[in-house]
Structure 1
């Protein structure tokens, strides 16, 4: 895990995991991780690599997925399958869903982690409608399509949906982030509305409202380099714990003052 500054250590306290409970709960299960080629998705795959599970790793970059699969195979206990697809493309999504239908034993857990972030003034996007269609496609439409296809098997397996979201869903909107926030809000609201129905059918739902995480997604934003951020490995530990506790939401302990302060930005 990355070394934290003193401030990060206060903002992001360590998580205690009951490894035996995690092992007992996950043994023999099949777990989908989208956006698995880097960042949180990669860290979670590595975190679970010593568990007797079947990891299905999905991302656009096939070579990165193959390298991750080989790395896990060399030292881990998990079975790993990889599938390279751009979930924004209808034909690639349809092919993925057909492939998932044939997975032996079905799916137990989906970690919806794939996403696209963009910071751009609305005035710089006047001739860039694709800023909005692309973010909506990967942050909202793709996970909805994936869930709709797999909810029947999740119901049968009494499975779990884990959504990797952002604390911005709980704060006042920030300028320059309209495309990103609209798309993330859309899926957050969809899942919050669907959750009571899903839980009534014994499908668990967990949403992670994460602060800044030091992943490749934030690298284009220069101002983030000096800001406190969680490590992907730390997030992966929290997600792993949620797999056996079934906690409904993860929020940083300091979120409530951040919510209050966001009104005065």
Structure 2
């Protein structure tokens, strides 16, 4: 599969015909050589795969994640391959630890040119099982939204001063067509999407851009506990990592599967029909 061939032509069908036509902006090496790229959730899955590709392309990769052993292993993989990488173990659920890590990174490297907000927590729990679990919403917001906002607030001043910056937010395709049963997760990602839209309105003339990736299903540890996804069409972490790298090269405002974007259009035209479709999908167990 080509690096941009992940685009969906239908809800769960991978596009095997290659990438959509669009104006080329160069290669990954041209986009990241000599750049400082901070990747959260970099110890496994999408973040690890993207970090390895970025290191191979010439970036100085700053890896942030909670699991120190896995983070060190990913860093060694990049360095062994000839790249530059630095590990910063941090529990992003901890606000003080997150701010201290950002300060350390800025002190060590003088700034961040590209930020990939990839770390995330997913919870599947329907409404009738959530009445006494407000903490599910709190903890997803803490990691998926507030930690990402802290990262952005830490690195954006330098990006704006240097008049260069890229912020890549890994969201979910469910942000386009709805996620019944995943309300806490989808809402936290939607908050990150909306705050980035507001930030973009202030920074566009400064060559600081934001990209929202509405990522489809990826075979990571996050979805492993749900047996419904064992045979579902999905991306490998390596394919998803290349999607992140494509976002850095092309820096579109939004990237997402065709089905999801069409569903959002239907939602804008006829919310009632979109709600009915979401209800049918939830009732059928999809």
Q: Which runs of 5+ in 2 are unaligned?
A: 267-272, 281-286
Could you tell me which residue of structure 2 aligns to residue 65 of structure 1?
71
RMSD: 2.5
Aligned residues: 259
Q: CA deviation at 1:219?
A: 0.9
Structure-2 separation of matches of 1:25 and 1:195: 20
User: Which deviates further from its counterpart, 135-144 or 89-98?
Assistant: 89-98
Aligned partner of 1:179 in structure 2 is 184
1:79-108 CA-partner distances (Å, limit 9, x unpaired): 110111111112211211221220324111
1:125 CA displacement: 2.5
Say if 1:127 and 1:140 are closer, same or farther in 2 by CA, change over 3 A.
Answer: same
Shift of 1:134: 0.6
Q: Which residue is equivalent to 1:233?
A: 238
When normalised by structure 2's length, the TM-score is: 0.82
User: Which among 210, 216, 222 is matched to residue 215 of structure 2?
Assistant: 210
Structure 2 residue aligned with 1:138: 143
1:245 aligned residue: 250
1:164: Cα distance to partner?
Answer: 0.5
Q: How far has the Cα of 1:123 moved from its partner?
A: 2.8
1:8–1:130 Cα change, 3 Å: closer
- Residue 27 of structure 1 corresponds to which residue in structure 2? 33
Bigger mean CA deviation after superposition, 198-207 or 31-40: 198-207
Shift of 1:198: 1.9
d(CA) in 1 for partners of 2:107, 2:37: 14
What per-residue deviation string (whole Å, max 9, x for no partner) do you get for residues 176-200 of structure 1? 2121122111111111122121212
Q: Name which of 166, 171, 193 aligns with 1:165.
A: 171
Aligned partners of 1:224 and 1:9: how far apart in 2? Answer: 11
Distance 1:73 1:256 in 2: 39
Do the aligned residues in 2 keep the contact of 1:8 with 1:228 (CA within 8 Å)?
no
